[in-house]
Amino acid sequence: MDFLHSVGVDFIVHLQTKHNSYEDWISLASAVADLHTLFFILFPIWFHLRRDTAVKLIWVTAIGDWINMVLKWVLFGERPYWWVHESQFYAAGSAPSLQQSPISCETGPGSPSGHAMASVEVWSVMVSALLAIATEKRCPSLLYRFLQIGLWILVVLIEVWVCTSRVYIATHFPHQVIAGVIIGLMVVAVVSKMKWIYRASMKTYFFVVVFMTFSGFGFYNLLIVLGVDLMWTMEKAQKWCVRADWVHLDSNPLASLVRNMGSMFGLGLGLHSALYTEKKNTSTSFKMGCVIVSLVLLQLLDGWTFSSQNHLLFYCLSFVKHAIALLISTTLVPWAISRIFKGKRDKKKL
């Protein structure tokens, strides 16, 4: 693996020296590809545009991230920003110098890339939904063909952008992002066949959340009992990151699991609450109002941050925060706006 890692490091050095003028643009891809974008921006838009697509996005990313977490713990993937300092591949003093940024110092194992997986999952689902809408609107076959080719080319370009970003900031080796893309596409293919997710009961959501959460934490503790040091990556991050404040607990696999399970639980609660089952207004103005208000409230919720000093409290609050985020879009905002619309109609009747 050292030779493969060294080739990856050479590629990172090439990117950082030859294309550093594009650093801001390249780094932006890592921020956009984070699942935070799905929970706080994309989900409320798709939920009111095409509910089944929003539901599929949550299921695909939750299952994909769970698989990513397990693979990270099993594969023990290195990260470039610490590997160059600890590898015996280089002679003393000859290790390349890799630049770091505030988003370089992730604390979990590196393989496969979670950002590469998540981005290909999200964009594949969204493009498939757009093509389905075009089919429903009886788009002319020639125009549909151009649209199909254009959208999938867009997905490829976005993935190249995201993967380049993850490599450029020295968070991943090239083979790790390629693995992430391939596994992400496999997850989408499997979940696309799971039609039952669109009619899943609250009991199903509850058991899925419980199973994935306890299996995740259970596997974590099993590895510890077997003598596996799962804190090795945190120690390396703290040792080799150029700034201590760039090392964050929320970049480890368990934190990602908690966020996804909170979102899944929030989706289940939202879809099966008494407020959601009321008859909804389907007008364009109502949907636009729901999207706009949801986005505003979600940005306010996103400002709620908490200390990671107490790990248990941090994970619990993270779960609650992401559950609330999904409840806002699915139930609370639509219910509130429908009450306002109904109040105005009642006043007109008077």
Which residues are tagged catalytic? 115, 172
> What gap in Å lies between CA 85 and CA 281, rounded to an integer?
59
Q: Retrieve residue 301's tokens.
A: 């919720």
Residue type at 317?
A: L
For residues 142 and 147, what is the distance between their CA atoms, to the nearest angstrom?
A: 9
Q: Say if residues 73 and 109 touch (Cβ distance below 8 Å).
A: yes
Q: Is the dihedral of CA 157, 162, 167, 168 positive or negative?
A: positive
Sign, CA torsion 47/49/52/56: negative
**What secondary structure letter does DSSP report for 230?**
T
Q: Taken in order 64, 69, 73, 75, is the CA torsion positive or negative?
A: positive
In the three-class reduction of DSSP (H, G, I as helix; E, B as strand; rest coil), residue 91 is classed as coil
C-alpha to C-alpha distance for 263 and 239, rounded to whole angstroms = 33
What is the rounded distance in angstroms from the CA atom of residue 15 to the CA atom of residue 169? Answer: 9
Instruction: Tell me the CA distances in angstroms from 46 to 49, 56, 194, 291, one per residue in order.
Output: 5, 10, 19, 9
Backbone torsions φ then ψ of 309, nearest 5 degrees: -60, -45
Distance CA 127, CA 22 (A): 27
* Cβ-Cβ contacts under 8 Å for 133 (sequence gap 6 or more): 50
DSSP 165-189: HHHHTTSS-HHHHHHHHHHHHHHHH
Residues in the chain: 350
